[in-house]
Structure 1
Amino acid sequence: MNKDSQQHIIFDMDDTLIHCNKYFDLILGEFFDLMTQWFHDYGVTVEQIRTKQMEIDVAGVDKLGFASANFPQSLIDTYRYFCKQHHKEPVLREEEQLFKLGLSVYDQEIEAYPGMVETLDTLQNEGHRLYLYTGGESRIQKRKIEQMKLADFFEDRIYIRQHKNVKALEEILSAGRFNRSLTWMIGNSLRTDVVPALTAGINSIYIKQQREWHYNLVELKQEPHNVLYTVSALTEVPDIIAEKAIAIS
């Protein structure tokens, strides 16, 4: 491949390459069951619990980033909120049960999105340079990377950040001296993938999921001056990159 047409492609991991949100949804389902049992006599609904947990969870991520304790703590804080609302004394055993339940989300078996290996293979074989940029705690994210054998594609070009925002992406791009016109951010989050990419002046492909975590959904306030595509499947990415590479070769 002509070096001028080689693209630098940065991939998000969770819910871009591998499943993530569905495991949180499974745990939340168990949480809602417990809460409606414990607060049955107070008329608390699943929708009320869902709304409050989401509010607490998003506030925690804004403050602490993708810390592993944030999700289980959001379950406990939601429980405490409804205890206070209904003058119910919190039970330590129930709080401990919720913390254990919340942490169990990180023990789920890891599953790739359809076409993950084929997509990365295609891009690698076409001569593009692949990078992985994921939000979370190093220990948890490294375990996923190892289980999915992602180093086969990304080698040492892997960035793990607890806060995944405009500043974090800008630091990566500046340190790596990326040619921004030839660089892409691929991800499922408008908040942590697309908006930082557009702000940094690189191209972006937004993989729109059918069901998205509320935290990821933000409004695109400005018209992008660089390239932005929206797709519904990971397997659509290589064709878009190929078109761009041909156009500049």
Structure 2
Amino acid sequence: MKQKIMFDLDDTLVHCNKYFHFILDQFADLLYAWYSSAGITRAQIIAKQLEIDIARVQVHGFKSEHFPQSLIDTYRYYQNVTGRSASPVEEDKLWKLGNSVYELDVEPYPAMDETLDSLASSGHELHLYTGGDSLIQYRKIESMNLERYFQDRIYVRLHKNTDALEQILKDGKFNRATTWMIGNSIRTDVLPALHCGINAVYLKQETEWTFNVLPIDAKPSGALLTLTELPQVPPAIDDYLNEFGMRISG
């Protein structure tokens, strides 16, 4: 019962959100220093940036320039609200701050290698499906030497949704009953997997980007597992396959 197991990258195999939070903390400090005299709070700044960033992603996908541009757009929003003068120097500082998130070192989640080794040694075929800018995502992939697990089975898409996953499954002639999608995002991993009729593992993280959080309102045709740590994936899939095999044989 060998399976095709498709992994998300960001906040499934490698850390991502915490780096954006690190940059956003610096951004909020800057804007608070510039606009606090007008009664603008850090909470308002963070909320407005999130609103602007999510709106861009929903329309244009995971383009790398969206994040630094969202910092500038938030800055301009409060400039208009308060009447504070614009500054090209400040905007340039925000642009560089936003882009710096892509220059930070990549850090794997605990037991990433051990988890992938376990699945590969069991004979499962591993695939990687991630959303984002190709250059940035491949830099992460190369820095973690992930090609040794996924080889040419790597898919990078600006729009990571049901249509994109459906195309990958059709092009690769996947057997949907033996295919899995594993990821931290309900929006871009779990729901597309369920809509496409493949098995899904929701790898729930303690802190999640609001964009990724939705109700799971699709009925699974196969497995839908919720886990909290990457090393739980191999035994959870084994347990499901063993239980499914027993039901079939019975």
Fold shared, TM-score > 0.5 on shorter chain: yes
Partner of 2:59: 63
The aligned counterpart of 1:41 is 37
Unmatched segments (≥5 aa) in structure 2: none
Q: Deviations over 1:162-196 (max 9, x none)?
A: 11000000000000010000000000000000000
Distance in 1 between residues matched to 2:116 and 2:222, nearest whole Å: 23
For residue 95 of structure 2, what is the aligned residue in structure 1? Answer: 99
Report sequence identity in percent. Answer: 52
Equivalent residue runs for 1:79-228 within 5 Å? 79-228=75-224
1:98-118 alpha-carbon deviations (Å, 9 max, x no partner)? 000000000001000001000
Tell me if 1:231 matches 2:227: yes
Q: Separation in 1 of the partners of 2:169 and 2:180?
A: 11
Q: Select which of 241, 245, 249 maps to 1:248.
A: 245
Take 1:220 and 1:15, find their aligned partners in 2: how far apart are those partners? 19
Counterpart residue type for residue 208 of structure 1:
K
**Aligned counterpart for 1:29 among listed residues 15, 22, 25:** 25
Cα distance between partner residues in 2 of 1:202 and 1:222: 12
Contact 1:6 1:245 in 2 (8 A): no
Measured on the aligned residues, the alpha-carbon RMSD in Å equals 1.0
- TM-score (normalised: structure 2): 0.96
Q: Are the counterparts in 1 of residues 180 and 199 from structure 2 also a CA contact under 8 Å?
A: yes
Amino acid at match of 1:49: I
Which of 41-50 and 183-192 deviates more? 41-50
1:92 corresponds to which letter in structure 2? P
Q: Which runs of 5+ in 1 are unaligned?
A: none
User: How many residues are treated as equivalent by the alignment?
Assistant: 245
1:99-153: CA deviation from partner (whole Å, max 9, x where unpaired): 0000000000100000100000000000000000011111111111000000010
Counterpart Cα distance in 2 of 1:225 and 1:192: 18
Aligned 8 A contact 1:6 1:129 in 2: yes
Alpha-carbon distance between aligned partners in 2 of 1:155 and 1:223, rounded to the nearest angstrom: 32
Cα distance in 1 for partners of 2:11, 2:218 equals: 25
Residue 6 of structure 1: CA displacement?
0.4
Match for residue 78 of structure 1? Answer: 74
**Separation of aligned partners in 1, 2:75 and 2:162:** 33
Give how far 1:90 is off: 1.4
In 2: Cα distance, 1:215 partner to 1:222 partner: 18
Amino acid at match of 2:245: I
Could you tell me how far 1:87 is from its partner in structure 2? 1.2
Q: Provide the C-alpha distance between the structure 1 equivalents of 2:207 and 2:218, rounded to a whole number of angstroms.
A: 24
CA distance in 1, matches of 2:52, 2:225: 32
CA distance in 2, matches of 1:200, 1:55: 29
Q: Give the Cα separation in 2 of the matches to 1:223 and 1:181.
A: 15
